[in-house]
Amino acid sequence: MIELTPLARPYAKALFATALEIEKLEDMASELKIMAIVSESVEVTNTIENPTLSRQQLVDTLVNLFEDSITDTSKRLLSILAENKRLNLLQPIYSIYQELLENHKEQNSIEVFVATAPSDEAKEGIEKKLRSSYGNDANIYFSEDPKLMGGLSIKVGDETLDLSIRGKVNKLVNQLNF
């Protein structure tokens, strides 16, 4: 499978620059999120991949789908992506845009991997502890990874704190193998 991030980066940077210029960073992030989520649905994926639709028909269909929830800037993005046969980049564009926004706002993005979904109380405790360490404006995302077996793993930027059972077992195995 082709890595889409390098293809999406120029679009995300251009969109971010435009949003920064017109002072609509958060609004653009919301629009991109909507478009990214919808683009992952089976119906929209089938529409995008439909060879019988012209590029203009495809853009018109997508613009009608989003109607009042997106601005002209996002409509132009859809048109450019359709013209370049890159509508499959909406999700990576959103991810890169989100990173650019967090860097611009000097926010930390924290991903917490857990074996099973934590209770609301446990989730609040984890978020409270992370916010006290990394700032109240940190974006915290939870992802389930059953391979952890238990515990959790926290990723902040390029640093990872592995407090999972799998991590402890791997550490023990490495120590035994010296």
pLDDT in tens, 72-114: 888 888 888 888 888 888 889 998 998 888 888 777 788 899 9
Q: Is the pTM of this model over 0.75?
A: no
List where CATH 3.40.30 sits in the chain: 108-177
Give backbone dihedrals phi and psi of 75, rounded to 5 degrees, phi first. Answer: -65, -40
Element of type H or E holding 109: strand 109-114
Distance between CA atoms of residues 97 and 118, nearest Å: 28
Distance between CA atoms of residues 121 and 114, nearest Å: 15
Predicted confidence at residue 5, as pLDDT, reads 79
In the CATH scheme, what is the code of domain 108-177?
Answer: 3.40.30
Examine the pLDDT at 1 and tell me if it is beyond 50.
no
Distance between CA atoms of residues 128 and 97, nearest Å: 26
CATH number assigned to the domain with residue range 5-103, chosen from the 4 options 1.10.3470.10, 3.40.190.120, 1.10.520.20, 3.40.50.970: 1.10.520.20
